[in-house]
């Protein structure tokens, strides 16, 4: 395996590939399952890379994929990941893990993505994916190698979401 793609990045790549596949599926149970499985990959990569912020933010994304399985009003589905994230983000801010403007932007980006998974609304998936792409580009430029994988895959994800949104 090359130094570009380390073993710890493989789960994230597989997860993002599953997420891309999920965008190609019709909205329904199968898509929700694929989105959930896809969200677990980057979560495992964040854990293996010991990246607290990415790990916590991925946990919020996973919560959004889980909420999608329940018959709830859209505003409730959107609210659950936000209510989970708020105390966690405040704790991260207090511990100085969430310390830069880009970290805050990354948190908001993943909350948008989580809202998209929860509601299966392409607008949220598009906006969240686009914002995560920007966040990932900045993190990659700062030296966090897995962010390049997330950048490339989120650009593809955003493009597919845009196609679904505008067709």
**Tens of each residue's pLDDT in the chain, 167 residues:** 445 568 888 998 899 899 889 988 998 999 999 999 999 998 998 899 887 777 877 888 888 899 999 999 988 988 888 888 788 778 777 877 777 888 888 888 888 888 888 888 889 989 999 999 999 999 899 988 778 877 988 898 899 889 988 87
Among the listed residues 7, 13, 110, 16, the one whose alpha carbon sits nearest the alpha carbon of residue 54: 110
Report the domain count for the chain.
1
Supply the pLDDT for residue 4.
59
Structural domain contains residue 126: yes
Do the domain assignments include residue 40? yes
Residue 101 lies in a domain: yes
- Side-chain-side CA neighbours of residue 30 (13 Å): 7
Output the pLDDT for position 1: 44
Distance CA 93, CA 105 (A): 13
Q: Has residue 1 been placed in a domain?
A: no
Helix (H) or strand (E) holding 101: helix 101-119
- Give me the torsion for CA of 37, 40, 45, 49, rounded to 10°: -170
2 is a domain residue: no
- Residue 154 lies in domain: 7-166
pLDDT of residue 2: 46
Task: Write down the pLDDT at residue 3.
Answer: 56
51 falls within a domain: yes
């Amino acid at each position: 395996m090359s130094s570009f793609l380390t073993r710890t990045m493989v789960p994230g790549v597989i997860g993002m590939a599953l997420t891309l596949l999920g965008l190609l599926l019709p909205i329904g149970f199968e898509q929700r399952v694929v989105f959930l499985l896809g969200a677990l990959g980057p979560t495992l990569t964040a854990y293996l890379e010991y990246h607290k912020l990415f790990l916590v933010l991925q946990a919020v994304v996973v919560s959004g994929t889980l909420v999608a399985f329940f018959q709830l009003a859209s505003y409730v589905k959107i609210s659950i990941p936000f209510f989970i994230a708020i105390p966690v983000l405040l704790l991260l801010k207090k511990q100085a893990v969430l310390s830069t403007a880009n970290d805050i932007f990354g948190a908001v980006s993943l909350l948008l993505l989580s809202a998209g998974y929860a509601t299966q609304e392409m607008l949220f998936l598009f906006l969240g994916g686009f914002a995560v792409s920007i966040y990932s580009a900045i993190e990659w430029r700062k030296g966090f190698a897995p962010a390049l994988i997330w950048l490339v895959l989120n650009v593809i994800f955003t493009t597919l979401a845009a196609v679904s949104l505008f067709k």
